[in-house]
Amino acid sequence: MTVFRCRACGGTRVPVILSLGRMPLANAIVTPGFPEQAEPAYPLQLVFCETCTLVQIDETVPPELMFSDYAYFSSYSDTMLAHARGIVERVVDEQRLTPDCLAAEIASNDGYLLQYYVQAGVPVLGVEPAANIAKVADAKGIRTIVDFFGEALALKLRAEGVRADVIHANNVLAHVPDLPGFCRGLAALLSDEGRAIVEVPYVKELIDDREFDTIYHEHLSYFSVTALDRLFAAHGLSVVDVERLTIHGGSLRVTVAHARADVPRSRVVEALLEEEQGLGLTRLPYYARFARAVEDLREQLTGLLRDLRGRGHRLAAYGAAAKGATLLNYCGIDCRMIGFVADRNPHKQGKLMPGVHIPIVPPQFLMATRPDYVLLLTWNFADEILAQQAEFRDAGGRFIIPIPDVQIV
């Protein structure tokens, strides 16, 4: 039997804190007619490293199966675009970036963020493993390398004279199987005075708010400030600042620099490290209650849906995102309960949700078919979606928000 080793530190004391059973790949949208028995499923369970405190899953699906052809385009979210524009404008100002500088992004998607550096006159470089998405970025004039980022690619670029003054890594670190290699690559590509800006969902919110649907095979790791600090420090880097963000149900934005005595560290970093220690995020008991809380949430949600269906109400869902696939499959919600999933992304429309095979349709289907209740799978963008669907809501349609507590709005 192979012993699982922590992706960050190699430790072997990694007890299980939640098991979701076997799950399909959350972004592997299914084409109608695809044989059900050919759809792969893999174990999905969460563990805690008692050595470095990293929360992670203990199954690693080959990245090529998940990212080489990808259906998630960041530009279809107005919230993500506004978020990207805001941080770029701030970084350009604070770091005094000029046309002689370079801004890079790891997992740059369709250029949703780097396009704002281009508009500011700052040269850019994207690294994106999904060729179909990189092609969209290239069409916007954003130079994009189709590859997985790591130490080998970073050293190759450095040998060519490429160093970045700012490197963004938004919601990618969680996807990385080789965390030490990623960090060494970050250190190699980052200029001597440069800054890396890394955003990850915050494990504290995941546990406190029962956000189990953010657990899927693409998300290998779930970070606290403590885990990030230890990871970067082991590879010559230092967390010099940290912000807590509300996006994606609660995230961390850490600023990372080369570890040097003359680089000061924000008091916020030390304060959050102390807070996590005091709350218990660095110890197993904090996570032990998570499994029961998730089971309770499943019972509440499925009980509500069964009651509504039993009273003759028609149900649909909104948001064919990866988190929706986890929620639907774990809760056993399929096309017998939900008629369709509406989504703005045309690359997903006409296909089926992984595992449960619910049809994915354009958002216009909400007004065309008038379901009584819509389960909001992308609850992390609730404000944006509820505003977009004002006409449907004015016509009497209601949304069910499943997390952190089941509620009808």
Question: 176-231: per-residue pLDDT in tens?
Answer: 999 999 999 999 999 999 999 999 999 999 999 999 999 999 899 999 999 999 99
- The per-residue pLDDT for range 73-130, each reduced to its tens digit, is 555 677 778 888 999 999 999 989 999 999 999 999 888 899 999 999 999 999 998 8
- The per-residue pLDDT for range 119-147, each reduced to its tens digit, is 999 999 999 988 888 899 989 889 999 99
Q: What is the mean pLDDT of residues 154-176?
A: 95
CB-CB contact of 257 with 284 (8 Å): no
Domains for the chain: give ranges and CATH numbers: 74-288 (3.40.50.150), 291-408 (3.40.50.720)
Q: What is the mean pLDDT of residues 282-307?
A: 96
pLDDT in the model for residue 37: 61
Split at pLDDT 50, 70, 90, the class of 35 is low
**CA distances, 60 to each of 66, 221, 235, 250 (Å):** 11, 11, 23, 25
Nearest-angstrom CA–CA distance, 228 and 170: 14
Split at pLDDT 50, 70, 90, the class of 245 is confident
Q: What is the mean pLDDT of residues 256-274?
A: 92
CB-CB contact of 134 with 194 (8 Å): no
Q: Is the dihedral of CA 190, 256, 110, 130 positive or negative?
A: positive
The gap from C-alpha 25 to its chain's centroid, in whole angstroms, comes to: 14
Cβ-Cβ contacts under 8 Å for 226 (sequence gap 6 or more): 53, 273, 276, 277, 281, 282
- The per-residue pLDDT for range 201-213, each reduced to its tens digit, is 999 999 999 999 9
**pLDDT above 80: residue 175:** yes
Q: What is the mean pLDDT of residues 327-346?
A: 95
Structure tokens at 332: 């056993």
pLDDT in the model for residue 83: 84
pLDDT in the model for residue 71: 54
Question: pTM to 2 decimals?
Answer: 0.87
Of 35-49, 186-200, 228-242, least confident by mean pLDDT is 35-49
